[in-house]
A and B are shown apart, each in its own frame.
Chain A
Amino acid sequence: MNVDLADLAARINNIAVVGLMMAGLFITFASGHLVKRLIGLSIFQTAIFVFFITMGKVTGGTAPILLPDERTPIYSNPLPSVLILTAIVVSVATLAVGLAIVVRIKEAYGSAETDDVAAADIALDADAQT
């Protein structure tokens, strides 16, 4: 297969985004510690931020600032960056709630390891069934 290196280089951001998303997803589900799973989630969400921000980049564009004179420079699309500002807030809020829940889990179960919590849950389920 012919790989167009220039094309690949132009899409390096997308490759990075996909790589980060996969890494984030993997950590979210495969990690043995609840805090690490939240970190994975954060990596996943950060990858999406990168995706949005790089989407708005216009080649040769500058910051979108309106100049006093008549020149209209080429500037990058500011909207995705603005959107991501909101998304970051949302993500921080989710992370905060997640960490708070992990604290409560640690208090209640005495551990924040996925396996310990799962084992305790299974024992409790068995109690509830009988």
Chain B
Amino acid sequence: MSLELALILMIALPFASAFVAAAFDGAPDARDAAVGLFAIGTFALALMTAGEIWDGRAPALTIASIAPGLPIALRAEPLGAAFAVISSGLWLVTHVYSIGYMRETEDLQQTRFFAFVSLAVAATMGVALSANLFTLFIFYECLTFATYPLVVHYGDEASRRAGAVYIGILLPASFAGLFAASVWTYTIAGRTDFEAGGLLTGMIDANLAGLLLVLFVFGCAKSAIIPMHLWLPRAMVAPTPVSALLHAVCVVSAGVFAILKICLFILGPEAVATAVTREAMTWIAAASVTIASILALTRDDIKARLAYSTISQLSLVILGALLMTPTGVLGASLQMFAHAMAKITLFFAAGLIATSTGRTRVSEYAGVSTEAPVAFWCFVIGAASLVGLPPFAGAWPKLMLLNGAAEAGRPMLAALLGASSVLTAIYLFEPVIKGLRPGSGPVASRTSAASFGAMAPVITALGTIGLFVFSAALAAFLKPSLL
């Protein structure tokens, strides 16, 4: 199979999967099996593409052309390919988990759920594989539209309001920020290709670089940097697999991925370093890390706590991108993947605990370790990884970000990073410690522990360990993309 075909198939397979899911509406088993096959296929293609890149090839493909310099084009480079591998892999795991979750909760709109998850993954693959800013913008918007039905899944008043906030923040921000800055980039350069060293390097002065930086960072509101984060906690009304997907696979990850990619390949290190707003944006990202950690502490609902944790952890990626030192950028990239793995584990575990013991609040967690031991220990592993403890995936990126801050001569930031790890430890180990205590019996006993879906957090928990072990290989793989 040619590499170009693999590129387009990575988007086409999940896209087709949506229609296959719709076609098997009456036969849930066939539907879930078919979507699973599509997920396996996508994951295999992503791995294959990554392997080709490892061998030094760079597949590229132009799909259509809008105007001179504005093609819809795909190109696989290490960072995007790694994102594609992680996203498609986690889609597969999420699918396994969703099958159990959706049946256990006797959901009425399962087909719609699976169809739009597939569409969202298709859009995410598009974001990952975009060869230029224009294509990235298109898939970024498609992602917004594809995930909206997932957010409003339950169709009640709260869901609809969450959906309105979701669209009401993401779309205007992307138009005012990402769209405007993309057009501006096009006006200046005549094209929007992602180029090593930065497309706009040498074309813009410090003021314009500063303005574009602000537009890009806030325009990618999916990254949930404060104050664009308001949609994220509200979107927690969606089913747990959706939350897992939103945080780890599709939306928030795609947001920070876009920012990382834009900083590296559009603005370029030089422009980011000289941008007049860089200092301010760095502190906004830093504030985002800290404030979200503190807010997480105050939340009793476990999903809300994890939501704020996402804001905090992924603002670290933006922070790393803004540092623009080799170690900082590498740390930021690894943090993105490590967070995805750890956060999806936490959501799976929290979801399993909720369905099997009925406990959704941190204050009710006493006794969880005995009632749902597998889910609980997966939760512990995810928490440890997010805090940055070895031997879990989160350890390396935390260390590198610290190094990067030191490298950039920013001891204050380094201190703040340390403090954020401590805060993370406090808000994530609180449920763990509570869970170890003996409980007073299940709050509302549901059906027996989800059998099928229970595998999912185990897989991803092992993944966090695997990612720790293979971090050096991943770093070497990413190196050509980075500084």
Direct contact of A and B (CB under 8 A): no
Which residues on B are within 8 Å of A, measured CB to CB?
none
